[in-house]
Amino acid sequence: MRHKMINLCPTTFEIASKMKNFSSWVRSELLKIHAEQQEKEKNYTRYRCPACWKVYVDRHNFGNMSCMNKDCGYTHELEPIE
């Protein structure tokens, strides 16, 4: 295990002090957030413009993504990236 210092206000300090295993609870909450994020990202498609390297994220996966950078000038359809 590694240590990470966190700051608590007097109220949250009291709450944390009454918990039997605050560290375990924090780990479990962080892992929940991580799992939710990974689940969301499954439904996203990422595209990178080969000309200006701007990355776009399409949540709906409609395809036909083109570069929206006005200064870029790349007019072809963007390919999805891993």
Contact positions toward Zn ion, by CB under 5 A? 49, 51-52, 67, 69, 72, 74
Between residues 32 and 76, which has the closer beta carbon with respect to Zn ion?
Answer: 76
Give min distance, CB of 47 to Zn ion, in A: 10
Ordered strands of the 45-48 beta sheet: 55-58, 45-48, 80-81
16 vs 51, beta carbon nearer Zn ion: 51
Contact 25, 58 (CB under 8 A): no
d(CA 57, CA 45): 6
In the complex, minimum distance from the CB of residue 76 to Zn ion, in angstroms, rounded to a whole number? 10
- Phi, psi (rounded to 5 degrees) for 80: -65, 145
Shortest CB 68 distance to Zn ion, Å: 8
